[in-house]
Amino acid sequence: MRFQLDSGSRTPIYEQLVRQVREAIARGELEQEERLPSIRALARDLVVNPNTIIRALSELEREGLLVSRHGLGYFVAGSRIDTTKSARKRKLLEALDAWLTEAVNNGFSSEETLDMVKSRLNGFQWKGDAQS
């Protein structure tokens, strides 16, 4: 997995990294129990301060997407049964509402918005679904 950061972006570097790891997990590019590169290696490859990497990985760990193993590094977490489905659904709906608000404010119709969603669905790894 190769991460790329845009130093000219208004999005903070750690948020760019968080977003890329989330997406890599969702797409199946990073699989359960897979080890991420070390903090030092990521900092060197991305030419950023190690504290920036730690901040991103810590946020992903708080979200339950990564687990840290003392002396071994960060790994993609296993199944997320620790959070109730209703809590996960609520969080997803909040994100969806924010995204839909952005679509409306940018002048997209409901049909255009739905077409965007449909065009992106096959790029993700779906559990227990014929989509994958």
If 0-12 CB within 10 Å is exposed, 13-18 middle and 19+ buried, where does residue 57 land? buried
pLDDT value for 132:
41
Residue 44 parent element (H or E): helix 39-46
Q: 125 pLDDT band (50/70/90 cuts)?
A: confident
Q: What tens digit of pLDDT does each residue of 17-61 get?
A: 999 999 998 888 999 999 999 999 999 999 999 999 999 999 999
With a CB cutoff of 8 Å and minimum separation 6, the contacts of 49 are 43
Q: What tens digit of pLDDT does each residue of 81-111 get?
A: 555 677 778 888 988 999 999 999 999 999 9
Percent pLDDT > 70 in the chain is 92
- CA nearest neighbour of 30 among 74, 88, 76: 76
Percent pLDDT > 90 in the chain is 65
Phi, psi at 3, each rounded to 5°: -100, 145
